[in-house]
Amino acid sequence: MSYGYTGNILHIDLSSRKHWIEHPFEIFYRTYWGGRALALYYMLNQMKPHTDPLSPDNLLIFAPSVITGAPAPAIPRYTVCAKSPLTGAQGEAEAGGWWGPELKKAGFDAIIIKGSSKTPVYLWIKDGQIEIKEATHLWGKDTGTTQKIIKKELKDDKVRVAQIGPAGENLVRFANIVNELKHFNGRNGLGAVMGSKKLKAIAVKGTKSIDLYNKEKINQVTKNITKRIMDNPLSRSLRELGTPAVVRSFYEAGCLPSYNWTTGNFKEGESLTAETYNKTILKGTKGCFACPIRCKRVVEVNEKDLKVDPSYGGPEYETIASLGSLCGISDLKYIAKANELCNKYTMDTISTGMVIAFAMQCYEGGLLTKEDTEGIELTFGNKEAMLKMIGKIAYREGLGDLLSQGSYLAAQKIGKGAETFIHQVKGQEIPMHDPRLKTGVGLQYALSDYGADHMKAAHDPFFKDKDSEGIKEMKGLGILEPISPTDIGEKKVALFKLLDIYWTVFDILGVCDFGYVPRSVGTMEELLKIIRSSSGWETTWFELMSLGERSINMARIFNHREGFSSKDDTLPEVFYYPFKGGPLDGKLAINKKDFQKALRLRYQLMGWDPDTGIPTPAKLIELGLHWLIDEVKS
């Protein structure tokens, strides 16, 4: 008897329109558990190196985990993986919502999609039955319209739909995938991979429940966590203010990314704070499957010339900064509109804001002209121009076509020094957290398999003193001593090695980063109880940390096969210089030599070659990855 997983992996070839179901043994599930680990197993085994990400040979994999769908707080997530058209590396993005649990209820642990359909299609999966349906009538439609039509066609309003909008169809390299209109597999352009396969959507419905080993125990743990959520100020703040809560501290400290990272000093920061947000645009909050935290924002604007539809949720912190201060814009209503447009078209808001801010700097510096922008005055602070550019990128019109390729390729095309205005790692635009104040986040930007990402570990301030949540709650991992957020010495490197692996376990298992340590919501022990009670496996954090490390090494080898090496583990140059303007003026540059020394130490701690960053055969043997040894020998 299996618990937590269905034992069914669905394979679909869209070129031949055939499907088959694989039934792996228990040992496979216990080795890979789901998410990125499971996906990487197939990517390494079934994809040839140097596959064009937008060709039929790229695999597009949807994978929840053995515990996704357990009726416990903050475990709703599933992963989508493919080779990324933005970075050319392993691509990955996790999303919450309801789609992952529903896929499992519909009878599958993962979907592996290859090939490409000649005409647009969508998949309809219900209680183990699979249908490939025509979607020509949906192609070109935005996400809200598509979802309505699919639910109507299938005569079921409770069907869960993961889909792409026009940006995915038009192969924008940072197009994303959305479920229920507001839960995103956000980064790495996986929506473009879906578009290249002419796959508009995957609708799922299951009427059976997931078999769990001990539901009673999960309920008990859930009760304790839910009570704590109601009493605890940190999780209350997450519900009341959401991720925009950080705007105030960043803007007051002078590190809110502004004007394409030329300063952290945004004078109009007050108009972007969570308090202003709640007063002006917030309509309510929403959550994900079985999660009582309900941190997701829902906004509405109802003005004569500007309307924002609440069906598309509301901007999170990353969006407020990337489409706000980074573009010199301080009007939350316009940022809410920009968020709605990105969600309708399925475009990652971080990359969208970053490419527009980059273009604004190019325009102000004379590298782009009014002729290039087709008459748009693309200056910092021009909120109408920002909205126009979003549409142009989604439909790849004019300058939008160039920007749809991401800032790295766009800068190469523009030339004339435009490369100095981009801020990316492995081709992916950096998120809205400044590593000069959180060096561990900088290490994670540099080392992330799929380009700069802020969700690769807890952030440094959680470990800043003995009363910080990370120090109080993560002793079970051996994290005992506080470290300054700006330190980049040996202890910081060792700390972030652990955090990287631990957060990777979250990604594999579909655990939301906001739900468990170090946020004073669920504890490590409680999460372990949920994992054991879902799967029936008497697992330990030792086994789970090995799982996390296994997947990091698999991703490293995938990227090595694609030609990535230690030279790609970089940090944007801007962070090697001090802040300009505001309270931090002239302070806090990261020392490049120290950073490179830290990277080298991290390779060694991971069991990788200190020069090349390639996993050693011994490390692969330790992690049960003997089957990859030939890859490192070659």
Q: Where does this chain bind ligand SF4 (CB under 6 A)?
A: 74, 76, 96, 287-288, 291, 293-296, 512, 514-515
Output the smallest distance, CB 511 to ligand SF4, in A: 9
Output the smallest distance, CB 293 to ligand SF4, in A: 4
Amino acid (one-letter) located at 157:
D
Which candidate, 562, 550, 569, 571, places its Cα nearest to that of 615? 550
Nearer to ligand SF4, 401 or 513 (CB): 513
Output the smallest distance, CB 96 to ligand SF4, in A: 4
Name every residue whose Cβ is closer than 8 Å to that of residue 43 and which is 6 or more positions away in sequence. 59, 61, 81, 82, 83, 90, 558
Output the smallest distance, CB 72 to ligand SF4, in A: 10
Nearer to ligand SF4, 135 or 288 (CB): 288
Nearer to ligand SF4, 183 or 561 (CB): 183
Output the smallest distance, CB 205 to ligand SF4, in A: 21
Nearer to ligand SF4, 296 or 426 (CB): 296
Output the smallest distance, CB 586 to ligand SF4, in A: 38
Nearer to ligand SF4, 68 or 90 (CB): 68
Output the smallest distance, CB 294 to ligand SF4, in A: 5
List the alpha helices (DSSP H) in 165-254.
Answer: 166-169, 190-196, 215-231, 233-241, 246-253
Name every residue whose Cβ is closer than 8 Å to that of residue 144 and which is 6 or more positions away in sequence. 181, 309, 311, 312, 344
List the alpha helices (DSSP H) in 256-331.
Answer: 274-280, 317-322
Amino acid (one-letter) located at 194:
M
Tell me the two tokens of residue 56: 């039929």
Q: Among all chains, which residue has been given the structure tokens 């492995």?
A: 426
DSSP line for 501-532: HHHHHHHHHT--TTTBTTSSSB-HHHHHHHHH
Output the smallest distance, CB 464 to ligand SF4, in A: 23
Nearer to ligand SF4, 287 or 381 (CB): 287
DSSP line for 443-506: HHHHH-TTSS-S-SS--GGGGSSTTSHHHHH-GGGT--S---TT--SHHHHHHHHHHHHHHHHH
**d(C-alpha 544, C-alpha 527), whole Å:** 11
Output the smallest distance, CB 504 to ligand SF4, in A: 17
Output the smallest distance, CB 7 to ligand SF4, in A: 26
Burial letters 442-456, b for 16+ CB under 10 A, else e: bbbbbbbbbbbbbbb
Eight-class DSSP state of 210 = P
Nearer to ligand SF4, 246 or 418 (CB): 246
Q: Among all chains, which residue has been given the structure tokens 């003997």?
A: 626
**d(C-alpha 53, C-alpha 427), whole Å:** 14
Task: Provide the angle, in degrees to the nearest 10, between the axes of the packed helices 215-231 and 524-535.
Answer: 150
Q: How far is CA 332 from CA 69, 209, 297, in A?
A: 34, 41, 13
Nearer to ligand SF4, 242 or 615 (CB): 242
CB 575 within 8 A of CB 435: yes
Strand pairing of 90-95 and 78-83? Answer: antiparallel
Nearer to ligand SF4, 232 or 546 (CB): 232
Which candidate, 435, 452, 341, 441, places its Cα nearest to that of 393? 341
Tell me the two tokens of residue 236: 């209350």
Output the smallest distance, CB 101 to ligand SF4, in A: 11
**d(C-alpha 405, C-alpha 428), whole Å:** 11
Output the smallest distance, CB 253 to ligand SF4, in A: 25
Nearer to ligand SF4, 182 or 337 (CB): 182
Nearer to ligand SF4, 96 or 470 (CB): 96
Nearer to ligand SF4, 206 or 510 (CB): 510
